[in-house]
Chains A and B, each alone.
Chain A
Amino acid sequence: MISIRNLSYRYNKKAPLVLDNISLEIGRGEFVALVGQNGAGKTTLLKQLNGLLKPSSGSVTINGLDTATVKTSELACHIGFLFQNPDHQIFCGTVYDEIRFGLVNTRRQQELIDGRIRRIAGLLGLEGMLDRNPFTLSKGERQRVALASVLALETEILVLDEPTTGQDYKECVEIMEIVKSLNQQGKTIIMVSHDMEVVVDYCERTIVLHNGRVLEDDDTGIVLRKTESLGMAGLEPPQIIQLAQRFGPLFQDVISPEDMARAIISCAVPGGVRA
């Protein structure tokens, strides 16, 4: 579905490489986290996916379309993109128009549009705000408006650049649950996040970027136990994994509180192995 081959990128001829020989395959229905320090190239890599930036060498293909030759506004039917700052995306007078905007751009049928807007607004808890001006809403609400306007396009691939920033814990969980349900419906999700707890809870696969290279690329459970690589990229595994690592090899598969409880019980019950 997404195929990146030997992708290198620099902003101009004299600048250093921001992305250095990256090769990745992302299949349909995957839920991928992209993590790394600020400046590691995460956002640059995301912008390569929908053609906002074109490869300096190598290639990126989305559903068989080469991003080097297809315009971003055409790729928009295949790949939805949520930016870090919602204010870059929002410009209509009402929330309703904002969600509608992308649908009109991609020439969807008029009759379908209204129903879809209301459904998506309901999904994100925006139904009471459809007539409000987006700029009078709070940062968290604006983030959800921006997300709604991306979801409205119903693309097969969703690219989210830190979707949970500026949200409180409850809003963060709500957004991630929506993203998870979209993933269960078969959508491919690629998400940048600094929040390792979110990554471990939701993403199946984790890619660690460091200085424009792929440092690790595997199941989230496996990647998050590689303390050394994570440390190199300035990251720490979630606390539950750090705790499990201190308990020794019997706890090596623990990545969630449930796993932890199970592991402790199996050690504590009579007949169980003592740690």
Chain B
Amino acid sequence: MKQMLEYVHGNSLIHRLNPLTKLIFAVVTCVACFIGSNHLFLLGILLFTIIIAGASGILGRAAGVYKALFILGLFLMLFQLLFTPQGRILFYILPGVPVTDIGLGFSSLLMLRMMAALAPLSLMLMLTPMNELLTAMTHNLKVPYRYAFAVVTALRFIPAFSREMDQIMQAQRSRGHETDTRNPIKKIRVIIPMCIPLLISSVRKVETMAISLETRGFCTGPRSCRKKLGFTLFDILAIILVMAALPVSIIIG
């Protein structure tokens, strides 16, 4: 999961777009996915994100994201299927648990919506360096630096925590704790206590970071930024293209 949020270095047209454009893309497609309740429309959005990933040369890394989203989506779909008894019964998945046409339609829509709404967010994070995102938020969107910094830091810490968790799991495995079991239920039970060292080390890390920020004059005055982020023609075209998704989603409904 950790690669879902990590920036992948590149120099494609999409990498060079203004971070704000990419943020608009992520937010607008996400909103459109919740407005539009049409399988084909959602599938189209999903396909569109895959094309973007391909065009920016990160399809290999993005494939992992799509796979993870797909698995998550399947779970979501399965649960919806089991708990939607309305409609015409198509077949029985288990004795006494029917699968209906409404259930199938609704659950697949939910799965597609989840995938299509999350994929652009994850793509945006993979295609935008964090500090550029921070600049865009503070200088263009006028978000107070303190809050923008908190959001960006939270995102940046996720991969770090994920690596930390790997280390903890390895340490526990080496003293005979069966974190390498294949049984998923057993695995969850075994992993929960592992969260304690993660929590403690993250609190330690955050405390150190807070002190280190203060010693370097965090939020003591107005900030300057090294790189001015301008809008190019491509940015404007991209925003228009993305914005078009909104009316389409309303019309298709």
A46 and chain B: residue at smallest CB distance = B174
Contact partner of A106 (CB less than 8 A), chosen from B170, B172, B176, B194, is B176
B178-215 vs A, CB cutoff 8 Å, 1 = contact: the mask equals: 11110000000000011011001100100000000000
**Would A135 and B176 be within 8 Å (CB), given that A47-B170, A88-B171, A91-B194 are in contact?**
no
- CB pair B175 A52 closer than 8 Å: no
Interfacial chain B residues near A153, Cβ < 8 Å: 175-176
A101 to B178, CA, bound (A): 12
For residue A89, CB closer than 8 A to chain B, the reply is: yes
Interfacial chain A residues near B181, Cβ < 8 Å: 73
Interfacial chain B residues near A184, Cβ < 8 Å: none
Range for the number of chain B residues in contact with chain A: 20 to 34
**Would A72 and B174 be within 8 Å (CB), given that A83-B167, A85-B167, A88-B167 are in contact?**
yes
A81 and chain B: residue at smallest CB distance = B174
**Would A72 and B194 be within 8 Å (CB), given that A52-B174, A83-B171 are in contact?**
no
From residue 207 to 242 of chain A, which have CB atoms closer than 8 A to chain B?
none
Interfacial chain B residues near A163, Cβ < 8 Å: none
B180 and chain A: residue at smallest CB distance = A71
For residue B177, CB closer than 8 A to chain A, the reply is: yes
- CB pair B193 A80 closer than 8 Å: no
**Would A105 and B178 be within 8 Å (CB), given that A87-B201, A91-B193, A91-B194 are in contact?**
yes
For residue A183, CB closer than 8 A to chain B, the reply is: no
Interfacial chain A residues near B179, Cβ < 8 Å: 73
For residue B168, CB closer than 8 A to chain A, the reply is: yes
Contact partner of B176 (CB less than 8 A), chosen from A47, A77, A87, A90, is A77
- CB pair B173 A73 closer than 8 Å: yes
Interfacial chain B residues near A125, Cβ < 8 Å: none
* A160, chain B: closest CB distance, angstroms: 12
- CB pair B171 A135 closer than 8 Å: no
B204 and chain A: residue at smallest CB distance = A87
Interfacial chain B residues near A175, Cβ < 8 Å: none
For residue A150, CB closer than 8 A to chain B, the reply is: yes
Interfacial chain A residues near B164, Cβ < 8 Å: 88
* A66, chain B: closest CB distance, angstroms: 16
From residue 134 to 149 of chain A, which have CB atoms closer than 8 A to chain B?
135, 149
A248 to B196, CA, bound (A): 57
- CB pair A76 B194 closer than 8 Å: no
Interfacial chain B residues near A106, Cβ < 8 Å: 176
For residue A102, CB closer than 8 A to chain B, the reply is: yes
A91 to B197, CA, bound (A): 5
A73 to B175, CA, bound (A): 7
* B164, chain A: closest CB distance, angstroms: 8
* B180, chain A: closest CB distance, angstroms: 5
For residue A50, CB closer than 8 A to chain B, the reply is: yes
- CB pair B196 A91 closer than 8 Å: yes
- CB pair B167 A73 closer than 8 Å: no
* A246, chain B: closest CB distance, angstroms: 43
* A155, chain B: closest CB distance, angstroms: 10
Interfacial chain A residues near B174, Cβ < 8 Å: 50, 52, 72, 76, 79-81, 83
From residue 78 to 107 of chain A, which have CB atoms closer than 8 A to chain B?
79-81, 83, 85, 87-91, 101-102, 105-106
Interfacial chain B residues near A87, Cβ < 8 Å: 197, 200-201, 204
Contact partner of B171 (CB less than 8 A), chosen from A77, A79, A89, is A89
From residue 91 to 137 of chain A, which have CB atoms closer than 8 A to chain B?
91, 101-102, 105-106, 135
9 interchain residue pairs of minimum CB distance:
A105-B176, A76-B176, A81-B174, A102-B175, A88-B171, A72-B173, A91-B197, A89-B171, A91-B196
21 A-B pairs with CB atoms under 8 Å apart are A47-B170, A50-B174, A52-B174, A71-B178, A71-B180, A72-B174, A72-B180, A73-B173, A76-B174, A76-B176, A79-B174, A80-B174, A80-B175, A88-B201, A89-B172, A90-B197, A91-B168, A91-B172, A105-B175, A105-B176, A153-B176
Contacts A80-B174, A91-B172 known; list 16 others, CB within 8 Å.
A50-B174, A52-B173, A52-B174, A72-B180, A73-B173, A73-B176, A76-B174, A76-B175, A81-B171, A81-B174, A83-B167, A88-B171, A88-B197, A89-B175, A90-B197, A102-B175
